[in-house]
Amino acid sequence: MNIGLGMQIFALLMLAVPSAWLTIPWVMAAQALSGIAKDLNKMSAKSAIKTLVPDEQQGALYKWVAILTGSKNALKGAGFFIGGLLLSVLGFQYAVAAMAAVLTLVFIGSVISLESDMGKAKAKPKFKQIFSKSESINILSAARMFLFGARDVWFVVALPIYLGSIFGWDHTLVGGFLALWVIAYGFVQGVAQRLPARRR
C-alpha cells in the first residue's frame, strides 16, 4: 500500500515540471507508473479485506470486494470532477502539485496507522510460483495487463484530449462528464455481487 502511494506521488511530481518537459513519452511514462501504483493500492486493499473478514464469513468476501471495487471507481469518478475543477482554477502544474501534496499527507497517515505486517504472506513464494501452472491462465493474465494498460492510456490521456479538441469542452465539462461516467460504472460494479443471488 505504502509503496503504491509513494509511486503515485512520484508520478504526479513527474508531471509538475516545466511545460517544455511534458513530451508524449514522458507523460505516458508517468501514466504507466501511476497505473502500476493504482493496481498496487487496489490489490493491497483487497488483501487487507481478506485478512479482516473472519474465517467463518469468507463467503461474504466476494460481496466486500465488489463493494470495494465499486466504491473505488466511484471515488475515481469524483477525482475526475475535482481534477477538472483544479485544472480550471489552478492550472496544470499547480493542480498536480496540490494532488501530490494531499497524497503525501495520506502517505504519512498510512505509514503511521497501518500495521506493518497486514496482508503479508506467511511464506514467501519463489518467483516461478507466482505464475500459474496453467499456460492459458498466464496468457490471459498477460492479455489483461495490456488490456488494462490500453484502457488507462485511452481513458485518462486520449479521451479527455479528444473531448476538448473535437467538441471544444473546457476542463470542468470534460472532468464532469468523465466523473459521471466512472461513478455510474462504479455503482454497477458495487451492485454486481447481488445479481447471481437474484438469478438463483
**Tens-digit pLDDT profile for residues 80-110:** 778 878 888 888 889 899 989 999 998 898 8
Residue 10's pLDDT band (cuts 50, 70, 90): very high
Count of C-beta atoms within a 10 Å radius of residue 131: 12
What whole-number percentage of the chain has pLDDT above 70?
74
pTM of the model: 0.65
Q: Which distant-in-sequence residues (6+ apart) come within 8 Å of 96 by Cβ?
A: 12, 13, 15, 16
Count of C-beta atoms within a 10 Å radius of residue 188: 11
Count of C-beta atoms within a 10 Å radius of residue 84: 23
| Domain assignments of the chain as residue spans, ordered by start | 1-120, 132-199
